[in-house]
Structure 1
């Protein structure tokens, strides 16, 4: 009776428990992508994905082992051995592809736009027109600029794959139609973006 009561309590506790699965996507300074179940190392760009894991279901208690009746030597010799059972075929394990990292679509002050992996891209200083003391714009001797910040918003999940494909195309154009001194750097950036795209759910 005490064994049955303890088993029912374990069954109720296991059925009510559903843990949250946390996945950390880490991108180091060299652009290498790592997916792990612990926080990223210091210096890496970290993105966190939270998913609800399935609640575990306890196994049914084993049935009591029946006691075989005693047999005589004659009956034992007459018993026919059962043939060995064939091994069950191995079930293939499906590859799980995660969504790609977030992208942000930014708008410049003049109405232009671009896509970036940074939620807050670096500010830039746009030059201003200088004038002389008499108000003549041709007589300005100094230089001045205004610090501006672009407005950025996260790309929705349903448009994330399309945005990454566009970013990959732009990286390839920048590599193939670039100057010789920046070709190696642009090629490395194209390889990094292409690897993220093909290894994510967008490339599956």
Structure 2
């Protein structure tokens, strides 16, 4: 029996186009629309059950959207150059010392120098016998000479300045320097006394107290860290 050449040709053509068609069908999906006896419609991907009307549609298979690339962060703005802060230079004077002086009777007082208050002491209190010379006028020379701290007769720089005139000599009180912490404490005490006295002081005295307190405040700022 001879083969039918027409059927052979159709079979060959079918094998040639079968692969592209399968590739094309792989991108599609077949949807079945089924309608039952009550007119209710359903969609499915398999053929409809028997007794239901069936409509077939081939649709392109949906594809997932490509992943969204996160936006690149915005570049940071360039830093604004800051203006150079001017350097503040504060000049501090060296701390001023304070001294405690003692009088012969044991009284103590504060002083800004170590010279001590001068006092006139007759020579007989020191164990000397005073001799009063006489002048051509016949009068005795008596009484102490000017104070060492008198501007008309400045001291010679010694703590004890003996002057053998009038049967006596000037002697200064002994003084010792206080520690810095004690100096600051005494300045605070003095400022407290000034403020207490200020309320009962006369107007003229208040002006003097203001000047003294202003000086103490400046000294506390410079020497004691601004107490």
TM-score bracket, normalised by the shorter chain, equals: 0.3 to 0.5
* Structure possessing the higher radius of gyration over alpha carbons: 2
Per the normalisation by structure 1, the TM-score is 0.38
Per the normalisation by structure 2, the TM-score is 0.35
